[in-house]
Amino acid sequence: LQREYGSEINLLAGGGVRASNISKIQETTGITHFHSSAKVLIEGNMSVSMSNSSVAEQVFTVDSEEVNQMKAILNEI
């Protein structure tokens, strides 16, 4: 669709977009607008204790290195 309509519309690719596949998506589709959560799972500051064992909290956060890699790739296009 992007190639067919050119600058008349802007399609946004999202869902699984990462630095490892963003250039392939762009090359294959012609799309130049992307959405990515660029999330990574990290250990949080809290832990949950159940009887004798405790489990560290894990939270998702934005992986700034992933974002920077995607920006660098797109700047080359």
Nearest to 35 by CA among 10, 16, 20, 52: 16
**Rounded Cα distance, 66 and 18, in Å:** 7
pLDDT of residue 55: 65
By three-state DSSP, how is residue 11 classified?
coil
pLDDT confidence tier of residue 57, bands split at 50, 70 and 90: confident
Residue-averaged pLDDT of the chain: 89
Look up the pTM and report it.
Answer: 0.74
**Rounded Cα distance, 12 and 33, in Å:** 5
Report the DSSP pairing between strands 12-13 and 53-62. Answer: unpaired
Pick the residue with more confidence: 7 or 36? 36
Domain tally for the chain?
Answer: 1
* Average pLDDT over every residue of 8-27: 95
